[in-house]
Amino acid sequence: MSALTPDETILGLLARQPQHGYQLLEVFHDPNRLGNVWSLSTSQLYAVLKRLERQGGINGQQVESETAPTRTEYAITPEGNLYLHNWLNTQTPSASIRRVRVEFLSRLYIAQLLRVSVNPIIEHQRHVCQQERANLVRNRETMEGVGALVIELVIAQLDAVLDWIEHCTLVSNPLQS
């Protein structure tokens, strides 16, 4: 499993419009946007921007302003757009509770921002969580002691996530106008 990074989320923000680092950081600090999803410092953001630029997903360009110091404005490249498209349309997202909380919410946010249907994103997440729950239920009978308790906890978490995903469906669909 790959590391949990905000790379794709940043690509999504830049797909909407080119931005400089402080504009991006505002999104990650605002609790009504991604502030409660990601905990991202200024140095972490700039490290990600440098990595994305090195990998060809974004380009930075110096922009002068009469009211502010010269800043680097970042824009997504065609390669970055392809990577973002693949991330938004992944059919096998993780059923990990942490990844659901961070990646799934990030996908929903970016899809809504870009006016992309959230329905496939929700359905793919629901499907992998249902599959994982079914696998755990099948394996629960072979476990005992703490191992059985762990499986019961994860099943209960997945039940809560599946209920919450249903709520996401109800909340997100009106935004698909």
77-89 per-position pLDDT tens digit: 999 999 999 999 9
Closest by CA to 104, choosing from 128, 82, 78, is 128
Whole-number pLDDT of residue 176:
42
18-59 per-position pLDDT tens digit: 999 999 999 999 999 999 999 999 999 999 999 999 999 999
The DSSP element (H or E) to which 61 belongs, if any, is strand 58-63
Domain formed by 1-88, architecture: Orthogonal Bundle (1.10)
Structure tokens at 173: 């669909």
pLDDT surpasses 60 at 90: yes
- Per-residue exposure over 90-121, b if at least 16 CB sit within 10 Å of its own CB, e if not: beebbbbeebbebbbbbbbbbbebeebebeeb
Whole-number pLDDT of residue 173:
55
Structure tokens at 46: 């700039």
Whole-number pLDDT of residue 68:
80
| Residue position matching structure tokens 């793919």 | 124
C-alpha distances in Å from residue 50, one per residue of 42, 84, 136, 157 = 12, 17, 40, 36
Closest by CA to 26, choosing from 52, 11, 45, is 45
pLDDT surpasses 90 at 69: no
Confidence of residue 120 (pLDDT cuts 50, 70, 90): very high
Which of 1-5, 16-20, 26-30, 157-161 bottoms out in mean pLDDT, i.e. has the lowest?
1-5
Whole-number pLDDT of residue 1:
60
Alpha helices, DSSP H only, in 57-144?
Answer: 78-88, 97-99, 105-113, 119-140
Enter the pTM of the model. 0.90
Which residue type, as a one-letter code, is found at position 93? Answer: P
Domain locations in the chain as residue ranges: 1-88, 95-177
On whether the CB atoms of residues 103 and 90 are closer than 8 A, the answer is: no
